[in-house]
Amino acid sequence: MKGELLLLSSVIFLLQVVCACPEKCRCHSPSNSVDCSQRGLTEIPSGLPPQTLTLHLQDNQIHQLPAFAFRSVPQLITLNLGNNSLLNLAPGAFHGLRHLQVLNLTQNSLHFMESRLFHSLPQLRELDLSSNNISHLPRSLGQHWENLTIFAVQQNQLRQLDRAFLESMPRVKLLFLKDNLWTCNCHLLSLKLWLETFLYKGGIMDSVICASPDTWKGKDLLKIPHELYQPCPFPSGGLEASQLQKLGYAHWAVPGPPESHSTEEQDDSECELKPKPRPTNLRYALATVVITGVVCGIVCLMMLAATIYGCTYAAITAQYHGGPLAQANETAKAEGKELCDSSPA
Ligand SMILES: *[C@@H]1O[C@H](CO)[C@@H](O)[C@H](O)[C@H]1NC(C)=O
Ligand SMILES: *[C@@H]1O[C@H](CO)[C@@H](O)[C@H](O)[C@H]1NC(C)=O
Ligand SMILES: *[C@@H]1O[C@H](CO)[C@@H](O)[C@H](O)[C@H]1NC(C)=O
Ligand SMILES: *[C@@H]1O[C@H](CO)[C@@H](O)[C@H](O)[C@H]1NC(C)=O
């Protein structure tokens, strides 16, 4: 009797553990999803079913995540922590979530992301960090996120983003980068080059609108020609000289005082400008000479023809007059006035 009671109570206890649902959450057992959204929670509720695959914690006031915060739900695939009050995440906050594919941290107050934070998420496919206060991301994640396809960091305080960081996500297809404080200087050039390749390969993104410097404020990073970026002072530039040379931008890699560079450019432009008028003038002069020559030739020919015609006509008339009208001719010579009077008639 005692043994049976013990068995029964332990079964009930086990059932409670397996089927338990935190007081403030709704658990949907067939899909193994737990909805704790909009419950005014300030921390992760305890007693989550261990087989949970989807956990909704959005629209609460959770302000911190300790290390191993999700130890009790190691099977988690989707975790939504959007619209909470998260300021900082303990570096080991996501430890143990080896199956997590979707992590949503939108609308929090996060300031930075440590690369260690993501080391425990090898299967991640979608990461939403939008609408936070993130001002810098790690230079690199240190390891590849082979499966990450969506990365969102729009509406943050980012000024630059290292190319190596994006290179850690070789399969990314969707990128959201707009509404940040992008500083479009030489350091963003490597991002620009990376994005151009990304788009060429069929990637989809919103836009990177420059917030500074003033010259480029409001302009799209991808629409500013490469040539207009000032060269980065070595060696802080994002790209190595060899890489630049490979890309055909060798002249950027040449470090030099900006003054001498600009005067060189001026000299170049002067040299370019000077010879230009000469060929046009020469051509113009040549054309004038040719046209004048042709016109003169035609006029001369016409005059020659007229002279020949005049001479022949004169000769013919002279012959005509010299014959039967020789006498009349003589009288005409004698009485010039008469001839003049009769000729118009
Ligand atoms: C964020 O959560 C609060 C409750 O904590 C809710 O009132 C508000 O509507 C949510 N905001 C959005 C944009 O969903
Ligand atoms: C990416 O996903 C596939 C399929 O789910 C998985 O086999 C692979 O291990 C994942 N890659 C990494 C780096 O975890
Ligand atoms: C994150 O959650 C917000 C609101 O809850 C949603 O609009 C957004 O699409 C989610 N992000 C991803 C990558 O699923
Ligand atoms: C986050 O950034 C916004 C906009 O710059 C600012 O209004 C807000 O106070 C910041 N929040 C925190 C917690 O720093």
List pLDDT tens digits, range 293-302: 666 566 657 7
Locate the ligand 2 atom nearest the alpha carbon of residue 146 and give its number: 13
User: 88: Cβ below 6 Å to ligand 4?
Assistant: no
The answer to whether residues 176 and 130 touch, using CB atoms and an 8 Å cutoff, is yes
Q: Could you tell me the distance, in angstroms and rounded to a whole number, from the CA of residue 129 to the centre of ligand 3?
A: 10
Average pLDDT for residues 93-102, to the nearest whole number?
94
pLDDT of 4: 61
User: 105: Cβ below 6 Å to ligand 3?
Assistant: no
Locate the ligand 2 atom nearest the alpha carbon of residue 145 and give its number: 13
Task: Supply φ then ψ for residue 8, to 5 degrees.
Answer: -60, -45
User: 255: Cβ below 6 Å to ligand 2?
Assistant: no
Residue 179 pLDDT > 80: yes
Q: Could you tell me the distance, in angstroms and rounded to a whole number, from the CA of residue 125 to the centre of ligand 2?
A: 10
User: 122: Cβ below 6 Å to ligand 2?
Assistant: yes
Look up the pTM and report it.
0.68
pLDDT of 200: 95
Task: Identify the residue with better confidence: 177 or 335.
Answer: 177
Locate the ligand 1 atom nearest the alpha carbon of residue 83 and give its number: 1
Q: Which of 146, 148, 149, 172 to mutate to test the pocket of ligand 2 (most atoms within 8 A of CB)?
A: 146
Residue 249 and residue 192: Cα distance in Å, rounded? 14
Range in 113-117, 234-238, 305-309 the model is least confident about: 234-238
Closest Cα to atom 6 of ligand 2: 123
Percent of the chain predicted with pLDDT > 90: 44
Closest ligand to C-alpha of residue 41 is 1
List pLDDT tens digits, range 118-159: 788 889 999 999 999 999 888 877 777 889 999 999 999 999
Strand pairing partners for 174? Answer: 150, 204
List pLDDT tens digits, range 43-61: 999 999 999 999 999 999 9
User: 90: Cβ below 6 Å to ligand 3?
Assistant: no
List pLDDT tens digits, range 210-266: 998 888 899 999 998 877 776 677 654 444 444 444 444 433 333 333 333 333 333
